[in-house]
């Protein structure tokens, strides 16, 4: 019988080593990142919006979002300088360079003003966060009244064998470094019930938690 994953196994908060950042940026996340953008725009797509992406990594999602909604003002936040350097390089010769602001800071404790964003998004940040209430409270602080929240993350499989199969299926052709990172991320992820409990504790039980795929969960709603 495969080992049950009853408790998460935390991983580092930041992917701040240059080697890790480059491996992540070079991996093919085009399909999952475009799916994130498509789902956001299905759920919420006003003509103008102030948007913040918490834990933006190399900023592929903000760049894709800018291409489809050039009128949106986007702030992309990450605590890893290595990631933001890759983001700046990706935007260097693109109109996105003038439309997307990059900010190096703790995504769970930004220096940005209260209630200053109409849309708060995050992809694959939650499983890095050891104190998730900090993240949810920061989201609530940053969102304007009526602001829309869309968070997507991994969820922890029930068994080690399931985690290993997910890595093989979706990262089997990637570098060993990236496969190892993905495996650690799955083990560090929260379950749907754990996320629901976090939201209740943070006073955000109005947000909806749903399973989006065999490895992703979505948290959506209006504050």
DSSP per-residue letters across 126-194 = GGG-SSHHHHHHHHHHHEEEEEEEEEEEEB--SBHHHHHHHHHHHHTTS-HHHHHHHHHHHHHPBPHHH
First to last CA, the chain: 43
Query: Residue 10 half-sphere exposure, CB side, CA atoms within 13 Å?
Result: 7
- Give CA separation, 4 vs 76, 129, 145, 187, 191, in Å: 36, 22, 41, 11, 13
Q: Two tokens at 3?
A: 């080992």
| pLDDT attached to residue 24 | 59
The torsion defined by the Cα of 125, 15, 9 and 207, in degrees rounded to 10, comes to: 0
Q: Two tokens at 82?
A: 């290595």
| pLDDT attached to residue 174 | 87
Report the C-alpha gap between 74 and 135 in whole angstroms.
19
Contacts of 88 by beta carbon, 8 Å cutoff, 6+ apart:
97, 102
| pLDDT attached to residue 14 | 56
Q: Tens-digit pLDDT profile for the chain (223 aa)? A: 679 888 999 986 555 555 665 665 566 788 999 999 999 999 999 999 999 999 999 999 999 999 999 999 999 999 999 899 999 999 987 888 888 999 999 999 999 999 999 999 999 999 999 999 999 999 999 999 999 999 999 999 999 999 999 999 999 998 888 899 899 999 999 999 999 999 999 999 999 999 999 999 999 999 9
Report the C-alpha gap between 204 and 58 in whole angstroms.
29
Q: Which domains does the chain have, with CATH numbers?
A: 20-222 (3.40.50.150)
| pLDDT attached to residue 191 | 98
State the pairing for strand pair 73-78/208-211.
Answer: unpaired
| pLDDT attached to residue 22 | 60
């Amino acid at each position: 019988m495969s080992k049950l994953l009853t408790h998460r196994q935390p991983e580092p908060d930041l992917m701040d080593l240059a080697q890790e950042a480059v491996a992540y940026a070079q991996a093919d996340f085009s399909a999952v990142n475009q799916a994130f953008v498509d789902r956001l725009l299905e759920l919420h797509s006003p003509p103008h919006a102030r948007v913040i992406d918490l834990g933006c990594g190399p900023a592929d999602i903000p760049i894709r979002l800018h291409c489809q909604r050039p009128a949106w003002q986007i702030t992309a936040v990450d605590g890893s300088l290595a990631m933001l350097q890759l983001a700046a390089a990706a935007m260097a010769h693109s109109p996105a360079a003038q439309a997307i602001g990059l900010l190096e800071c703790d995504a769970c404790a930004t220096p940005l003003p209260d209630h200053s964003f109409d849309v708060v998004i995050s992809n694959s940040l939650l499983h890095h966060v050891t104190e998730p209430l900090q993240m949810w409270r920061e989201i609530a602080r940053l969102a304007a009244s009526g602001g829309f929240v869309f968070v997507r993350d991994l969820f922890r499989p029930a068994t080690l064998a399931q985690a290993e199969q997910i890595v093989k299926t979706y990262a089997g052709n990637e570098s060993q470094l990236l496969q190892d990172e993905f495996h650690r991320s799955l083990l560090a992820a929260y379950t749907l019930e754990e996320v629901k409990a976090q939201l209740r504790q943070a006073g955000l039980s109005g947000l909806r938690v749903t399973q989006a795929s065999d490895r992703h969960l979505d948290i959506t709603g209006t504050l």
